[in-house]
Structure 1
Amino acid sequence: MDDEAPLRKRRQATVRETKALAHPLRLRILRLCGQREMTNKQLADRLGRDPGTVLYHVRQLADAGFLEPAPVRTGERGALEKPYRATRKSWWLSNPMENLDAEARFAPVEAFQDELREAGPESVAAFDRFALHLSPEDIEILERRILAILDEYIETDDERLDQPLHGGILVLHRLAGGDAGEDDEVGGHGRTADPSPPPGEGSRGRRRDPPDGRYATRT
């Protein structure tokens, strides 16, 4: 197994950066501002939240360096608007959620669930579910190899701006009751794809024409 896949250097997140990423609404804001420049009012309307609440979270992200003011522009009714855009630095942080409590670490999953519900089931372009026996070293190597592939696509994303936007999340978790030596029904060789695909799909579901929904960060 090749564990020497090259990666652009990542750095450890600061305390402020970690706290800024520890809320699902802030992660939704960050993704939306990664898709296009948006004002606080546009974010509030899109997310169905009070503008004051959204502004609080926008400021938390801006203070941590994840959002920055975009050039002032003229809105549809002639008024000046002050939009925000994502700096896209969160992708290059190393394990930014690892020092948070269990509930805060679940924020990316909650944000992803909200995004997927908004996009609808027909937005799903690929689906893979699996169970593997892995040592801590195996997990480190697996993540490093997956990130190497994602890094390549992220660094060349500007070459595909004419294509639909996609979002995704990679979550590897220890299964409940999955301690070594237990009968966890993963097959005689200790690894197999989960046998339960989405309704109407094979073990690797494929759908076409997803709606726009890109955001290139691990969060």
Structure 2
Amino acid sequence: MRRPATDAEARALASGVRLRIIRLCLDRALTNKEIAERLDANPATVLHHVRTLVATGFLVPQEERRGPRGSREVPYLSTRKSWQLDGGGADQAMLEAFHHELALLEGETGAANLARLGLRLTPEEWQELQDRFQLLLDEYANREGTEGRPYSIFLAMYEDRSRD
């Protein structure tokens, strides 16, 4: 069951970088250094984002381990909490994260399946469509196991005011 995001959760999700960190740590725990390398970002900046995500329950620290030179490393794993929240005003952050992830596919033919569709629906049909998509996405999000290739879905549904 979804619930509205708290103010702190909404602020945490209003960053494209934080959304990407949550996604990076979805399947396996990564250290701050590993996250920074994957994002091609400053480790100190990434640590700020990681701490915000831990404080708001989107990441959870795993058991501390020793790095190659004996340094202390803490890997972080996504809690999947972001999927349980509604709203939060993260629309622009989601677009930013989507653009960064899409850019990683640049030049790969057929790497992304994009589609646009314009419809005319009654309010009841609109609600039915939203509910059906939500049920389908929830079904796949709640499947157990980490087998298979990683895929991401970006879905935007909105009233098209340009066609009024």
Q: TM-score with structure 1 length normalisation?
A: 0.67
Q: What is the rounded CA distance, in whole Å, between the counterparts of 2:6 and 2:73 in structure 1?
A: 31
Instruction: Give the Å deviation of 1:125.
Output: 5.3
Q: Distance in 2 between matches of 1:10 and 1:155?
A: 13
Q: Establish whether residue 84 from structure 1 lines up as the match of residue 69 from structure 2.
A: no
What is the letter of the counterpart of residue 117 of structure 1?
A: A
CA deviation map 1:48-80 (0-9, x unaligned): 111111111111111111011011123344433
Match of 1:12 among 4, 7, 11: 4
* Matching residue within 154, 169, 172 for 2:154: 169
Does the CA contact (< 8 Å) of 2:14 and 2:88 recur in 1? no
For 1:151, the equivalent position in structure 2 comes to 138
Shift of 1:89: 0.9
Q: Which residue of 1 aligns with 2:97?
A: 111
Identity fraction in percent: 42
Distance 2:123 2:67 in 1: 52
Match of 2:37 among 45, 59, 62: 45
Q: What SS does structure 1 have at the residue aligned with 2:25? A: helix
Shift of 1:174: 3.3
In the alignment, what sits opposite 2:163?
A: 178
Q: Distance in 2 between matches of 1:108 and 1:135?
A: 27
Q: Could you say what the CA RMSD is over the residues aligned between the two structures, in angstroms?
A: 2.0
Q: Partner amino acid for 1:145?
A: R
Larger Rg: 1
- Distance change in 2, residues 1:131/1:164 (3 Å): same
Provide structure 2 residue ranges, at least 5 long, that are not aligned to the other structure: none
**What displacement does 1:142 show?**
1.4
Distance 2:93 2:140 in 1: 24
TM-score with structure 2 length normalisation?
A: 0.88
Summarize deviations over 1:115-158 as a string: whole Å, max 9, x none. 11113334635333211123444333211111101111121241
**Helix, strand or coil at the partner of 1:84:** strand
Number of the residue aligned with 1:133: 120
State the number of aligned residues: 163
- Partner amino acid, structure 1, of 2:47: L
**Equivalent residue in structure 2 for 1:29, among 21, 24, 41:** 21
Aligned to 1:212: none
Equivalent-residue separation in structure 2 for 1:163 and 1:125 (angstroms): 17
* Whole-Å separation in 1 of the counterparts to 2:88 and 2:16: 14
Q: Distance in 2 between matches of 1:90 and 1:133?
A: 31
